Amino acid sequence: MLSLAILVIVLAVLMLVRMPVAFAMGIAGTAGLAIQIGTRPALAVLERVFIDTTASFILVAIPLFILMAELLTAGQVTRRAILACQAWVGHVRGGLAVATVGASVLLAALIGSSTASTAAMATSAYPEMRRHKYNDRLATAVVSVGGTLAVVVPPSIVLVVYGVLTETSIGKLFIAGIVPGLMTALGISTVIKIVSHTTDYAPRGEPFRLGHALRASRHVVPMVLLIVAVIGVIYGGIASPSEAAAFGVMGALVLGLAQRSLRLASLAPSVSTAVRATVMIVTIIACSHIFANYLSFTRVTQDLLSAIEGSGLPAYAILSMMVLVLLVMGMFMDQLAILSLAMPLAFPAAMALDFDPVWFGIVVTKTVEIGLITPPLGLNAYVAAGQSGVRLGEVFRGLTPFIIMELVVLTLLIAFPQITLWLPGLMLGRG
Amino acid sequence: MPRAEAMLRRVEDLLHALGCTALVVVAVLINADIISRVVGLRPLEMQFELTELYLMPSLATLSLARVFRDGGHLALEVDTPSLLGPLWPVVRRLVLAASAAFFLTVAYVSGRHAVEAFAKGSIEFGVIDWPLGWAYLPVPVGTGLLAVRLLVELVKRGAPSALATNTGGDINEI
Amino acid sequence: TDLRLGDFQSTTHIVSVNGTQKWMKDVEAATEGAVTFTHFPSEQGAKADALLDAVANGILDVALIQPFYTSEKLPLWSIVGLPGFYDTADRGTEALQAMIDEGATRDELLEAGVVPIFAVALPPYQVLSKAERMGALDAWTNKNIRTSGAAQALIARSLGGAGVSMPGPEVYTGVERGRLDAVLFPLPSVPGYNLQEVTQHISTNGSFGGSLLMLVMNKDVFEGLPEDEQKVLLELGAETARHAAKVQDDAQAKLADEWAAAGIDIYTFSDAELDTLNEAMGAVRQDWLDRIGGRNKDAAPTMERYTSLSAN
Ligand code: NA
Ligand code: NA
């Protein structure tokens, strides 16, 4: 146990001196393995861990989702969706912000990457809101928080990674994310309305014109068609969720080219961005396997489990402790790093407490996703700030009411598992 | 030194281009498979193995060094540099040295694994015989080049303020 | 001696309970605590396809392996995946136990750095289908069949269908949504994936390939044990293998009864149907002989021996 404590401190120090999270986990994990089982076996772990991690079909969803988001933005598809939503709700105060949430939901139904979604919205929705004299705080906050929808509304990279790490059905996780995702979107819109009526952050709406709204709606048709096509190939039995991501990439490409808004020249940078992001993510997953392997040889999972079983604490008290730890981790760490660091411990514990693996996956995803909009490390806020040029502090200030709303939604999801589980139960039956 | 750096960059870009090609091939293959199913042709039975054994490892590891050069490996955003003051350049070099040692080790042991597979002619017995040496090769190549990149950063004169990593602002995360 | 035992199954799996865990308990009791185990189930010690290397390299001392996952190191053992050999886990296990005791199949394991302790056969794969029984070759034509591993993909192909590789967790949805027409599966594993909920017809006497689990030990660690302890490990291993096989055969029979009562069409192939299917699948055996035999002179003698060991 002493060596484990030292290793955890080493890991923390390495991360504090800005060693990339993946490298830090790999180095600390290898050192731990060498202490625990010997140097030669530790090297044998290194010999295979990268090939075993990367040779995985299910992981292809990651580059494909990111590529899809890149193509949709490059092809102006997201910007048109915002304009269409605005034509319908733009007449209320804060209407354009609500329209951005609507477009974020549409985008979320296509892509599974929160940061990709935020980036897409920051380059398309933020300029629109700025043009309509929205306060920067509200505009960037809506873009950042709207981006988080992408990992709860299926498809979702975080849910794919959770499914891979815990061997939970990815199909079920996807369906389970729908209601919590829509609930979050409703929550965001409510906060926008409250902020709009209590501050001068949002301008008065423009008069509603039915003809204009109908005309603008044409522009959202291609995106809806794409969503229907992607969902259709999954539930029509033509492709598995990971394969459907590839289908969506082709759809986004065809759409952009057909609308003449995508130039072939922007293809190469899109592919390059997707590959770079994948390399970063997969390196984190591979190195976290090294660390998780070390953890399992320390038997800390079993010790912790028996401590929990012996503690006599009610299951929900233990769950609350876990969620709190994940929230704190979310302040400082990236969501995939948290998942891969925490799930080897938290998942078996949750299963021992008889929680549903699908529900637990949604609760965990929702929890780590809040970390994307909290300081000091809040990736979505960083991306929104980076793309808009608004100061980071302003973005975080604007996000405060949304963070409170997120915590309320999380509490509801924990208190009422049926919110998450009734839809998968309805569509897929029991088990 | 500038010539070595230029050469390293060229190799990094070449491997990155290979990784990008792998992604394009994955997308094309899966779509070809889906389309052939929809129109009632035989599915491409080799799509799964080709993707899993060769294309995923390539696209996930060949660009490791290029991603580091671009500051794409996620690190914590803590203001350690100003906290450590004059000590920071030393700490930064230690961090680079430890990382380089780690990836050199990974490259060496996984490279040995690949060479062994080539020497024995190891195959995965599938609908066709898949040579495993080629499947194992991208990992030592990608991690090896990353180790080289880390060493080059280590001996570079003058420390950049951060560790050539960023934590946001770029759209290529998550 | 405390030994690290790695395992890819969860502790609730039928072979884990009646095989791996039973063996550990029996050994600890028989040696009166001279040999004990620390168990790393559910891939905690190493990933399923890395377990053999993990034992050979000393990451683990003992592991339950699935030899097909490492067919590049254990090519001869891939013969067990071929169709049309043994018909029950019990009979299959008798053959496999003989094959770990001596011959080229044992040498292959020693070569890989491990000593076999026991090998247990799974009941042969059956076909679970949605629309119709699969007795006639017509039923297989151009159907999408979920298969796992090379031999099974070839089985699907030899019968006129197409083998579809799909990750385990996605199979349920695949069948339900019609991406898959049928699935090849050992029946005791079916409830773990709830496939009985989405299929209508299940065969019980087919032999669409076999499968096995094998407990192996690091060679140096095994040879370092006193001879009487070695003997205990092996004797209890043989006993455990037989027990685990019988439990599986019983479980299969019980499941078939339950499913039949639940209204699922549980059926047996007629002798004529079996002959037709086996004849078509003969191509898979020949393919194995050509490809493995082309690289390994022991392939043909191994097939001869396996044929006689598993014959009815
Ligand atoms: Na999504
Ligand atoms: Na955060």
> Domain spans of chain B?
2-158
Distance from CA of A410 to the nearest CA of B (A): 21
Least confident span in A20-29, A121-130, A285-294, A306-315: A306-315
Which of the four pLDDT bands, split at 50, 70 and 90, describes residue C62?
A: very high
Give contacts of B30 with chain A, Cβ < 8 Å.
60, 239, 243, 246-247
Q: Enter the tokens of residue C152.
A: 């099974």
The predicted pLDDT at position B166 comes to 39
| Residue from the list C78, C144, C164 with its beta carbon closest to the beta carbon of B125 | C78
Which of the four pLDDT bands, split at 50, 70 and 90, describes residue B173?
A: very low
Distance from CA of C180 to the nearest CA of A (A): 8
Q: Residues with Cβ within 5 Å of ion ligand 2?
A: A 331, 371, 374, 377-378
Least confident span in A135-139, A220-224, B57-61, C246-250: A220-224
| Prediction ipTM score | 0.84
CB contact under 8 A, C169 and A52: no
How confident is the model over C71-95, as a mean pLDDT? 93
A26-37 burial, b for 16+ CB within 10 Å, e for fewer?
bbbbbbbbbbbb
Highest mean pLDDT among A126-130, A410-414, B126-130, B160-164: A410-414
Is residue B170 scored above 60 in pLDDT? no
How far apart, in whole angstroms, are the C-alpha atoms of residue A150 and residue A248? Answer: 15
Between chain B and chain C, the number of residue pairs with CB atoms below 8 A apart is: 38
Task: Express each pLDDT in C190-240 by its tens digit.
Answer: 887 778 888 999 999 999 999 999 999 999 999 999 999 999 999 999 999
Is residue A278 scored above 90 in pLDDT? no
Which of the four pLDDT bands, split at 50, 70 and 90, describes residue A296?
A: confident
What residue spans of A90-169 are helical by DSSP H? 95-108, 114-131, 136-152, 157-166
C158, C280 contact by CB (below 8 A):
yes
Q: Measured in angstroms, how far is the CA atom of residue A228 from the centroid of ligand 1?
A: 14
Phi, psi of B156 (to 5 degrees): -60, 140
- Starting from the CA of residue A244, give the closest ligand: 1
Give contacts of A238 with chain C, Cβ < 8 Å.
179
Task: Express each pLDDT in A24-36 by its tens digit.
Answer: 989 999 999 999 9
What B110-117 contacts at long range (C-beta under 8 Å, 24+ apart), as own/partner pairs, is: B110/A46, B110/A47, B110/A48, B110/A50, B110/A51, B110/B136, B110/B139, B110/B140, B110/B143, B111/B140, B111/B144, B112/A47, B113/A47, B113/A48, B113/A51, B113/B140, B114/B139, B114/B140, B117/C72
Any CB–CB contact under 8 A between B5 and chain A? no
Is residue B171 scored above 80 in pLDDT? no
The predicted pLDDT at position A305 comes to 66
Task: Express each pLDDT in B153-164 by its tens digit.
Answer: 998 865 444 444
Q: Measured in angstroms, how far is the CA atom of residue A298 from the centroid of ligand 2?
A: 29
CB contact under 8 A, B72 and A276: yes
Is residue C257 scored above 90 in pLDDT? yes
The predicted pLDDT at position C172 comes to 79
Per the prediction, chain C carries an average pLDDT of 92
How far apart, in whole angstroms, are the C-alpha atoms of residue A230 and residue A250? Answer: 10
Give contacts of B40 with chain C, Cβ < 8 Å.
142
CB contact under 8 A, A59 and B60: yes
How far apart, in whole angstroms, are the C-alpha atoms of residue A336 and residue A310? Answer: 31
Q: Measured in angstroms, how far is the CA atom of residue C149 from the centroid of ligand 1?
A: 32
Give contacts of C162 with chain B, Cβ < 8 Å.
42-43, 45
Give contacts of A67 with chain B, Cβ < 8 Å.
23, 27
The predicted pLDDT at position C11 comes to 77
How confident is the model over C117-144, as a mean pLDDT? 94
C45, C57 contact by CB (below 8 A):
no
Task: Express each pLDDT in A316-365 by its tens digit.
Answer: 888 888 888 888 877 766 677 678 777 877 888 888 888 999 999 999 99
Q: Enter the tokens of residue C253.
A: 């029979």
Q: Which has the closest alpha carbon to A399: A377, A374, A368?
A: A374
Per the prediction, chain A carries an average pLDDT of 86
The predicted pLDDT at position B1 comes to 63
Is residue A87 scored above 90 in pLDDT? no
Q: How many CB atoms are located within 10 Å of the residue A242 CB? A: 25
Q: Which of B53, B76, B78, B116 to mutate to test the interface with A (most CBs of A within 10 A)?
A: B76
Q: Which has the closest alpha carbon to C105: C248, C298, C308, C285?
A: C298
A89-102 burial, b for 16+ CB within 10 Å, e for fewer?
bbebbbbbbbbbbb
How confident is the model over A126-145, as a mean pLDDT? 92
The predicted pLDDT at position B169 comes to 32
Task: Express each pLDDT in C85-111 by its tens digit.
Answer: 999 999 999 999 999 999 999 999 999
How confident is the model over C56-68, as a mean pLDDT? 94
Q: Which amino acid is at A383?
A: V
- Residue linked to tokens 């990382």: B99
How far apart, in whole angstroms, are the C-alpha atoms of residue C214 and residue C241? Answer: 9
Any CB–CB contact under 8 A between A166 and chain C? no
How far apart, in whole angstroms, are the C-alpha atoms of residue C305 and residue C302? Answer: 5
Interface partners of chain A (CB pairs < 8 Å, 3 or more) are: B, C
Q: Which of C165, C171, C295, C296 to mutate to test the interface with B (most CBs of B within 10 A)?
A: C165
CB contact under 8 A, B42 and C150: no
Q: How many CB atoms are located within 10 Å of the residue C82 CB? A: 23
The predicted pLDDT at position B81 comes to 85
pTM here is 0.82
Distance from CA of A284 to the nearest CA of B (A): 9
| Residue from the list B43, B125, B132 with its beta carbon closest to the beta carbon of C150 | B125
The predicted pLDDT at position C42 comes to 76
Which of the four pLDDT bands, split at 50, 70 and 90, describes residue A240?
A: confident
Q: Which of A17, A21, A254 to mutate to test the interface with B (most CBs of B within 10 A)?
A: A17
